[in-house]
Amino acid sequence: MGIKRRKISVIGSGFTGATTALMVAQKELGDVVLVDIPNMEKPTKGKALDMLEASPVQGFDANIIGTSNYEDIKDSDLVIVTAGIARRPGMSRDDLVNTNAGIMKSVAQEILKHAPDTFILVLSNPVDAMTYTIFKETGFPKERVIGQSGVLDTARFRTFVAQELNLSVKDITGFVLGGHGDDMVPLIRYSYAGGIPLETLISKERLDAIVERTRKGGGEIVELLGNGSAYYAPAAALTEMAEAILKDQRRVLPAIACLEGEYGYSNLYLGVPVVLGGKGIEQIIELELTEDEKTALNKSVESVKSVMEVLS
Ligand SMILES: NC(=O)C1=CN([C@@H]2O[C@H](COP(=O)(O)OP(=O)(O)OC[C@H]3O[C@@H](n4cnc5c(N)ncnc54)[C@H](O)[C@@H]3O)[C@@H](O)[C@H]2O)C=CC1
Ligand SMILES: O=C([O-])CC(=O)C(=O)O
């Protein structure tokens, strides 16, 4: 008996998985199990040990292990899924769908077998469709299967706005709705600098340019890196969501949630504002949308659905 530390399993020890493992450990959200395929077992163990050896210097208490044995995820409080292939220059996220759907199915079976009571955060792309796949394959309640896109997309938007206004990123808030693709819908009307509407601070032309850069933000990093996609900001986004769940913070964050009538859509996982806490997705917040915003959201939904059709 006694009080036990939380356990967080990160599936995939590549760029995003390893970075996420380090960030959640640095925040002392719990002990970390980093999982990859048998071929990758040695480097996965090596990364975990290397991170653990950073802990005395940085002063965090968290055990970190690397493994290719899914039994090690037993009793996880949270499983973060980053397994799969990432895109390279010239590719869209949707090009990853067939390979990653196969990987999601096998990962879902392992989670179901070894950690049936856990929460799941999905990162693998195309993430709206992959979150839906994990939901279907595990049969978990919808509030326990959550995808990450909006925290990252909003973080990019906030970064660009802070640069434009030469203000602290801390004072910039925003909301990005819809699928995690180039049709995502940054909601300017709900975006502020220190409580002041952005529309009163930045010209329409400059705001349009920021929205466009946000939509293509993932691709911008892919072009710069040349051999993969973003991982620092995605890992930071996953860590914020993990903290909201594990500390029952009831944060208001954008997340990929299962819609059953909300915003007029059903049987679909899509990025929307939610309350994220100890029960997972505790509420989906429905914002009033203008006709233009509804049209933009609909376009984004059509993109997500066309990817999901490939899977059915
Ligand atoms: N939703 C989002 O905002 C973002 C999504 N992503 C997506 O996250 C995914 C991972 O990206 P990276 O970490 O950069 O890729 P990566 O290639 O560096 O790492 C992926 C890892 O998954 C492992 N893997 C494959 N099958 C597995 C299985 N069955 N079990 C355990 N591990 C398995 C691979 O061996 C590899 O080590 C990609 O699909 C990428 O597109 C990346 C950034 C942001
Ligand atoms: O762009 C990619 O392929 C990875 C991703 O989802 C992002 O960085 O937003």
**Ligand 2 atom 9: the closest Cα is on which residue?**
218
Q: How confident is the model at residue 71 (pLDDT cuts 50, 70, 90)?
A: very high
DSSP state at residue 129: H
Supply the pLDDT for residue 1.
Answer: 76
Measure the CA–CA gap between 96 and 310, rounded to whole angstroms. Answer: 11
Residue keyed to tokens 């493994």: 67
Supply the pLDDT for residue 236.
Answer: 99
SS3 (DSSP) at 173: strand
Distance between Cα 239 and ligand 2 center (Å): 16
ipTM exceeding the 0.90 mark: yes
Among all bound ligands, the one having the nearest atom to the CA of 44 is 1
Task: Look at domain 7-148 and name its CATH class.
Answer: alpha beta
CA distances for 44 relative to 39, 50, 243, angstroms:
10, 10, 24
Residue keyed to tokens 């500390």: 247
Task: State the closest ligand 2 atom to the C-alpha of 152, by its place in the atom list counted from 1.
Answer: 9
Q: How confident is the model at residue 310 (pLDDT cuts 50, 70, 90)?
A: confident
Measure the CA–CA gap between 175 and 270, rounded to whole angstroms. Answer: 14
Catalytic one among 180, 258, 263, 301? Answer: 180
**In what helix (H) or strand (E) does residue 23 lie, and over which residues does it extend?**
helix 15-26
Amino acid (one-letter) located at 43: P
Amino acid (one-letter) located at 21: A
Asked if residue 31 lies in contact with residue 62, where contact means CB atoms within 8 angstroms, the answer is yes
Burial of 61 (0-12, 13-18, 19+ CB in 10 A): exposed
Q: What is the mean pLDDT of residues 261-267?
A: 96
* Residue range 178-206, pLDDT digits in tens: 999 999 999 999 999 999 999 999 999 99
Q: Is 124 annotated as a binding residue?
A: yes
* Residue range 159-183, pLDDT digits in tens: 999 999 999 999 999 989 999 999 9
CATH number of 150-311: 3.90.110.10
Measure the CA–CA gap between 171 and 199, rounded to whole angstroms. Answer: 15
For residue 232 the two structure tokens come to 């620092």
Q: Which residues pair with 299 in a beta bridge?
A: none
Annotation marks residue 180 as catalytic: yes
**Where do the structural domains in the chain lie, given as residue ranges?**
7-148, 150-311
